[in-house]
Structure 1
Amino acid sequence: MAIKISMSELAAAVANEGGIGIIAGTALSAEELKKEIERARELSDGIIGVNIMFAASEFSSLIKQAVDSGIDLIVSGAGFSRDMFSIGKEADIPVVPIVSSLRLAKISEKLGASAIVAEGENAGGHLGGEENSGKILKKIKDEVSIPVISAGNIVTPADVKNAFKRGADGVQMGTRFLVSKESDASEEFMELCENARSKDVVKIMSSVGLPGRAIRTKMAEKIIENKAPSPEECINCLKQCSQKFCVREALLAGRRGDLEEGLFFTGPGIEKVDEVLTVKEIFEKIKSY
C-alpha cells in the first residue's frame, strides 16, 4: 500500500532502466491515476504498471481507469480479485497478483495470471502469509508454470542475486526504491528509513484486517496498544475496515513526514539502506554486482 510514494516519476525512472515501473494507484482518484499514467508516459517509453489494493473500495473503478489509460500491467494484492483476470484478458493486459500461498498461486494460474508475485512475510507493508520470501518462492515455483517474481526483504544487489539463485524469474523491490531521489516520500520519511535498523520494524494489525510491517513510531505503538484514535470521519475507502484507526490517513501522514501521526510502512531490510540514491544508481549497483 505505497500510498502516493511510488508515483509517475519513480515508475518512469524504473522503466527507463529496463525495469517495470509501478504506480501505486490505491488512494488516488480515477482522474489522479489517469494523470499519473499520462505523466509516466511523458517521462518514459518503458513498461508502466499499476498496483491497486483489492481491499480498496474504488478497486474496480481504478482498474477500469488504468485499462482505459493504456496501462501495460496490472498488479494487485491485499485480497484477491477473480474479476481482474477477465478484465485483463479482455483488454489484453497482463495481470499479476501478489500472493502468499500456493493455493492462491494455483488459482491465479488457472484464472489466467501472466505471472505471480510470491511475497514473503518479511516484506514491508500489508502481509498475507507466515512464510518468508525464500520458502514461499520455492513452494510456488515448483508447482506453477508461469513466471514467479520474488518479493520480501530484497534490498541489495546480493539479495537480488540470491533470489535468482533460488529460482525467481524476477524480483519486486519496494523498500530500496522508497529511499530514492525519485520517490515521493518526504525527507523526514527517508531520514527515518536511513536511521532505522531491523529491530525498529514492527508488525501492526491494519484496519484493512491484515498485518503489516512499519517502522516503530508513536503511531505504530498506539496501533499495537490499541490506542490509535478512531477516524473522526470516514470516506469509506476500504471495502471492510475495523474502524480502529484510518490506515489511509496514517500512511498519508507518514508520506508527509509527520512523525507524530504517521505510519511508515517498510520491511526489515531497511537497515541495508543507508543512503538516498537515484534509480539509475540503484540499477547500476545491481547490474555491476
Structure 2
Amino acid sequence: MKPRVPIIQGGMGVRISLSNLAAAVANAGGIGIISGTGITVDEMRFHIRRARELTQGKGYIGVNVLFAMNDFAETIKAAMKEKVDFIISGAGFSRDMYAWGREYDVPVLSIVSSAKLAKLAERLGAAAVVVEGFEAGGHLGTDRPLFEILPEVVETVSIPVIAAGGIINGADIARAIELGASGVQMGTRFVASAECDAPDVFKQKYIETTDEDELVLVKTTVGLQGRAIRNHFTSAISGDNRLKIEKCHDCLKNCSYRFCTLDSLITSVDGDVENGLVFAGARVHEIAEILPVQTIIDRLMTECKAAQTVIRSHVL
C-alpha cells in the first residue's frame, strides 16, 4: 500500500470523519479514515460503501475503532468483512484484532505512544504503527512530545512508522520523514476542511480558536486525558465534577460514569459547541481558514518539499 502522498487522515469520532472526508482525502492522494466509533455497524457499512463509490474504488479507505468501546470486536469484524484497506485502533490495546486481520486478510495498524508498545504491536502482527505524541487531539496515551518518541520507535521496529500528534504543516511532515517516519497522520487540520463531515459551526470553532490557552486537558470517562477546546462543558466537568447521565448507552468497557463522553461528543457535532466536547489538537490555533481537502494537501506537499530542500542543504 503506497498512496500518492504520505498522509493518513486521522479517524475522528463521533461523526467527524465519515465517508465525505475520507473519500476526499483518498481522492487527493492520501489515505482516508472513517471513524467507526459512536455510530452503528450499519451506519459504518453505509459510509464504507459510499466512500468506495466516491473514490470509484481507487483510493485507500480505512476504519478507526477505539478499543475502549464495547462494540469494538463487532465493529472491527464488520469493517473487515467490507474489505476496507486496513484497520487502525487506539485508546487501548487488543491482541485479538491481529488474528482477525489475518483471518479476513486486512492489515491492522496500532496507535502507540512508546517504543515498548510499538515492539509488542509488531510482534503480534501489526502491519505498521501510528506513533502519537502528546500534541494530539482527543484521547491521549502519553505526556511526551511526538518528536521525542518517534526516533525511539523507528529504531525499535522494522515495520513502517507513521507520525501523529501536532502535525499541522508541511515542515512537520518533512521533519517526521527525516526522523524515519514513512508518513504522517493528521486529524485536526482536516476538520477545518470543506469536505469534513462535521457541521460548519463545529469547523468554525476551530477557526475561532486563536491561542493555545483556549485548549484544556480533560479526564474523560474512558480513563484517559483528552485535549479539547475550552467551553461551557469543559468548565462543567473540571476537577471531579459529575454531570447527570440521562441514559447510559453502555458503550464503554470501563466507564467512570462521571458524565457521558459519547453524549458530549454527539452534542457538539449536532451543533452545540458550547455544551459538548470539541476535541482538537494542540496546534489548532494555527489553522486560519477552512479549505478544500485538495488545497490543503497540495499546500502541505509544497511546504514539505521546500522543507526537505532546506534539510538536504544543511546536510550537504
Q: Give the structure-2-normalised TM-score.
A: 0.89
C-alpha contact 2:122 2:159 (8 A) present in aligned 1: yes
C-alpha contact 2:34 2:61 (8 A) present in aligned 1: yes
In 2, Cα distance between the equivalents of 1:131 and 1:7?
29
**What letter matches 1:231 in structure 2?**
I
In 1, Cα distance between the equivalents of 2:299 and 2:21?
17
Deviations 1:40-73 (A, max 9, x none): 0000121100000000110000011101111111
C-alpha contact 2:70 2:252 (8 A) present in aligned 1: yes
Q: Is 1:241 the equivalent of 2:252?
A: no
Specify the SS of the correspondent of 2:157.
coil
Q: Is 1:57 the equivalent of 2:70?
A: yes
Match of 1:216 among 224, 230, 239: 230
Would you identify which runs of 4 or more consecutive aligned residues in structure 1 move more than 2 Å?
225-228
Deviations 1:225-273 (A, max 9, x none): 3335131110101111000000111011111221332110001110111
Deviations 1:194-244 (A, max 9, x none): 021211111000001110000011101112233351311101011110000
Q: Paired residue for 1:26?
A: 37
Match of 1:225 among 231, 239, 253: 239
C-alpha contact 1:156 1:272 (8 A) present in aligned 2: no
C-alpha contact 1:120 1:152 (8 A) present in aligned 2: yes
Query: Percent identity at matched positions?
Result: 46
Q: Is 1:151 the equivalent of 2:164?
A: yes
**What letter matches 1:23 in structure 2?**
I
Q: What is the deviation of 1:2? A: 2.2
Query: Which is further off, 221-230 or 70-79?
Result: 221-230
Specify the SS of the correspondent of 1:74.
strand
Specify the SS of the correspondent of 2:66.
coil
**What letter matches 1:215 in structure 2?**
I
Match of 2:288 among 262, 265, 274: 274
Match of 2:279 among 265, 276, 287: 265
In 1, Cα distance between the equivalents of 2:141 and 2:244?
24
Q: Is 1:37 the equivalent of 2:48?
A: yes
In 1, Cα distance between the equivalents of 2:45 and 2:114?
32
In 1, Cα distance between the equivalents of 2:130 and 2:92?
13
Q: Is 1:189 the equivalent of 2:202?
A: yes
Aligned residues: 289
| Counterparts of residues 92-171 of structure 1 (less than 5 Å) | 92-171=105-184
Specify the SS of the correspondent of 1:21.
strand
In 2, Cα distance between the equivalents of 1:252 and 1:210?
19
| Counterparts of residues 9-24 of structure 1 (less than 5 Å) | 9-24=20-35
Structure 2: unaligned runs, 5 residues or longer: 1-11, 304-316
Q: Paired residue for 1:251?
A: 265
In 1, Cα distance between the equivalents of 2:280 and 2:70?
23
Structure 1: unaligned runs, 5 residues or longer: none
In 1, Cα distance between the equivalents of 2:180 and 2:208?
32
Q: Is 1:199 the equivalent of 2:210?
A: no
Q: Paired residue for 2:16?
A: 5
C-alpha contact 2:66 2:91 (8 A) present in aligned 1: yes
